[in-house]
Structure 1
């Protein structure tokens, strides 16, 4: 029996593929960055071909670098940037418009048009009415591409988030499907009834025929076309990136919390069988759906985390590599007078201010590169505290936070996070748990694992960071952050 799993991890700024063995051990990986397109302020687009081609190239390279062939791979798992919206021709596979990325804010006015329905939308989907989600992006494409609405109604077009786009291409157009986690991020999916919602489709005037079939996160999604990897491989798992990380972190018990630090930062709390409605502007979402049983989650989303450091590197050119940020922060220390509010694409939870824009405060003649870089790192931690404060307001106090993603290799950042939050931060042995979670889902379908408990037993921690800062200093630092946010954001 094949004992290896291929995870295709399609992110906002790069695509990756990782081969894992059945014990979750990393065997080989490949990664490709691709171009970001910013045609207007607040607009973010991707070339759909870049998404597909970089993912395919990475998958091929990872298998080859592992010294394997397609016959050695038991199944493929897909995990993806969520909410990003694509519409393509059903017959030719040609996109009718570039992918509109989750960070894109162009549909803020459309959201205003539907403001009277915000409460009903939230009750059905667990989401807030915001440009972040897919529904208004679909509406924008159908409105702005000539003939798109008519073609959609005629069944000539297909919609998908990135997972569906990859699956459709991998299977040679045979599978037009998604999983419940990705469906729950479209603002069209009723998370209580677990189906596309007819009332919401009517509200946004979106034809149901363009939507993919929704399946469990661990399911048989079809097989890859033999052209791509030399042999057909079963595609056995799909989950949006943050839910995949929840699985990869082994957060299968109600009350467990994880935070992923990639392009954005996403804190997810497992709420079990309860779809807990937040009173502090957090999102209620599907954590995963396996064997027809739904596990719900409470989520807070920060739009700019690693993307802030990428901007410091590529936009300001203050550093040559993201890893340079640690030594600069160590030289600066905690008492940094500079506060950066990275609202480049508005602010996410708990503010949900689409009009907020980035700013820096506390600049003096002595301010230099190290203070600005450190402020970028500290902003990630302050925003994480915003989310945990909101969760506490909803009745859940976290005693430990499991962290993952590219940023968590920075020890200074992890210690500052522990100090600002006042709780233990635990970093796993495998920090790229998003890819690992997708692999585990595929492994469940392939029969490599029997239960989630078996998967959870594979989780191992690498290092923990305990808070060392006294309460008075911790609160003073956080008060400075709240003051900075208040200057650019409408009150929560």
Structure 2
């Protein structure tokens, strides 16, 4: 660990044991802040929405200044709710593959944030793949050459943004660390770096070969650090006094995996947000999957590897469906779906920006299959719920084949609050779905990792459970539903659409 790391034992000895860590979770649609005590208790909470801009089809952007303002707002709400708390440190979890350019001297953005689900670099990736680059990328990074990951977006910024002489490029975690420390620290966490297509996953360092391939100069990129190696101290961070250590940083999905207690193969979690991350720890970084990503979940003393399937549209599928059926948001879609016994033969494939894992078909198009004269808005809503669960099943089936088979799936995120979605998930998986008692596992997980790093222990037990959903669907009906889904995915594919 670096020199910035703290020791809980020393703090006890010196009589300075802190009250809590302020944990920031910067996600796609909002920023949340939690005050987390060492025993895992959440002492206070704050939240601030972040809008998403869609300037062109398949383009997803956000304003980096608005993101920073949301961090200040959420933190201020949280601290105001517990004014007596002593803030011993700050931790950060962040959306991962999204990128931004900003000024090293001022911290002000030089570009919009290009979101992880953005598809503007699809043709660029296709050209690189046609030139034979896909295998080299996979061999060094464990990832597919896909526009979801950061490097194609970073190249787009190099070509399109007015970067200037003191520009920085990086993922959202690096941007936030730079702003939190008043520009003193320009660093990214190794797990977030492993999602860029630029990190040699075995060496834990930027790959010169991949930097050249994507045309990104190394001096534009942050230093790579371990998850709790220390990220400087706060400076000018709103209600937080200057000099508070930034203890740990994680990608949001990685932090949820940690909080769920998924530290060994055979365990896995699914986070239901705008998109979804289905992630399971893996035995090292060898034997890369062709259908899933190999990533670094976190690094304390040694890096922990994981298999992951990223789904582009889960919560986004419900929000889009809300517009189709006249509902007021994703929760209203779930309520409408619950008014019918099933989807009435309707199947939805929410390929609004193509499909990611395990299909990797950016040419796929959204599809509603099986429309009939008696199809109702409730059937469309139910098909959207089914589509979220089917996409998660697709990833779990690959984990079963390529790693240790799962006996259960641990669920978190906003979508895990839907009883209908969780029951549907258990039915289509044919195994239990265990829902965490709190949906704020990303902020909780990175705080727990910081406390564990200070103590030098193995980490906390799994997050408390709110409910376990047992499958109710018999095997024949489950397979019938899964077969219908697979047929719909085939029909939605870019290859089929061009025939």
TM-score class normalised by the smaller sequence? over 0.9
**CA positional deviation for 1:425:** 0.8
Question: Does the C-alpha gap of structure 1 residues 417 and 458 become closer, same or farther in structure 2, counting only changes over 3 Å?
Answer: closer
- Could you tell me which of 300, 303, 318 is aligned with 2:312? 303
2:445 alignment partner in structure 1: 437
Matches of 1:24 and 1:421, distance apart in 2: 31
Q: Which piece of structure 1 moves more, 167-176 or 333-342?
A: 333-342
- Could you tell me which of 260, 263, 274 is aligned with 1:263? 274
- Say if 2:143 is the partner of 1:130: no
- Say if 2:201 is the partner of 1:179: no
Equivalent pair of 2:266/2:403 in contact (CA under 8 Å): no
Matches of 1:298 and 1:377, distance apart in 2: 25
**CA positional deviation for 1:458:** 5.9
Q: Which piece of structure 1 moves more, 331-340 or 73-82?
A: 331-340
Alignment of 1:106-121 (within 5 A): 106-115=120-129, 116-121=132-137
Alignment of 1:230-249 (within 5 A): 230-232=240-242, 233-249=244-260
Equivalent pair of 2:265/2:281 in contact (CA under 8 Å): yes
2:375 alignment partner in structure 1: 367
- Say if 2:49 is the partner of 1:30: no
| Number of aligned residues | 477
1:74 aligned counterpart, secondary structure? strand
Q: Over residues 404-461 of structure 1, what are the superposed CA-to-partner deviations in whole Å (9 max), with x where a residue is unaligned? A: 001101111111111100111111222321111111123235x3x4312xx3336322
2:386 aligned counterpart, secondary structure? helix
1:252 alignment partner in structure 2: 263
- The alignment's TM-score, normalised by the length of structure 2, stands at 0.92
**CA positional deviation for 1:468:** 1.5
Matches of 1:90 and 1:79, distance apart in 2: 22
**CA positional deviation for 1:353:** 1.1
Question: Does the C-alpha gap of structure 1 residues 279 and 321 become closer, same or farther in structure 2, counting only changes over 3 Å?
Answer: closer
Matches of 1:17 and 1:46, distance apart in 2: 19
2:21 alignment partner in structure 1: 5
Equivalent pair of 1:280/1:390 in contact (CA under 8 Å): no
- Say if 2:74 is the partner of 1:58: yes
Matches of 2:448 and 2:379, distance apart in 1: 41
Equivalent pair of 1:263/1:307 in contact (CA under 8 Å): yes
Structure 1's unaligned 5+ residue stretches are none
Alignment of 1:452-471 (within 5 A): 452=458, 455-457=459-461, 459-471=463-475
Equivalent pair of 2:180/2:236 in contact (CA under 8 Å): no
Equivalent pair of 1:332/1:371 in contact (CA under 8 Å): yes
**CA positional deviation for 1:325:** 3.4
Q: Over residues 236-286 of structure 1, what are the superposed CA-to-partner deviations in whole Å (9 max), with x where a residue is unaligned? A: 1111111111111111123211111011111111014x1143444100100
Question: Does the C-alpha gap of structure 1 residues 227 and 295 become closer, same or farther in structure 2, counting only changes over 3 Å?
Answer: closer
1:450 alignment partner in structure 2: 456
1:301 aligned counterpart, secondary structure? strand
Matches of 2:44 and 2:430, distance apart in 1: 36
1:485 alignment partner in structure 2: 489
Equivalent pair of 2:343/2:379 in contact (CA under 8 Å): no
**CA positional deviation for 1:144:** 1.6
Question: Does the C-alpha gap of structure 1 residues 157 and 361 become closer, same or farther in structure 2, counting only changes over 3 Å?
Answer: same
- The alignment's TM-score, normalised by the length of structure 1, stands at 0.93
Matches of 1:157 and 1:19, distance apart in 2: 33
Equivalent pair of 2:342/2:379 in contact (CA under 8 Å): no
Equivalent pair of 2:65/2:108 in contact (CA under 8 Å): no
Q: Over residues 137-157 of structure 1, what are the superposed CA-to-partner deviations in whole Å (9 max), with x where a residue is unaligned? A: 0111111225x4xx4xx6x21
Question: Does the C-alpha gap of structure 1 residues 334 and 443 become closer, same or farther in structure 2, counting only changes over 3 Å?
Answer: same
**CA positional deviation for 1:120:** 0.7
Q: Which piece of structure 1 moves more, 24-33 or 237-246?
A: 24-33
Matches of 1:329 and 1:468, distance apart in 2: 18
1:282 alignment partner in structure 2: 292
**CA positional deviation for 1:395:** 4.2
Q: Over residues 211-245 of structure 1, what are the superposed CA-to-partner deviations in whole Å (9 max), with x where a residue is unaligned? A: 11111111211111155224132111111111111
Q: Which piece of structure 1 moves more, 348-357 or 224-233?
A: 224-233
**CA positional deviation for 1:383:** 0.5
2:350 alignment partner in structure 1: 342
Matches of 1:483 and 1:221, distance apart in 2: 48
Matches of 2:125 and 2:68, distance apart in 1: 30
**CA positional deviation for 1:102:** 0.6
1:205 alignment partner in structure 2: 215
Question: Does the C-alpha gap of structure 1 residues 395 and 167 become closer, same or farther in structure 2, counting only changes over 3 Å?
Answer: closer
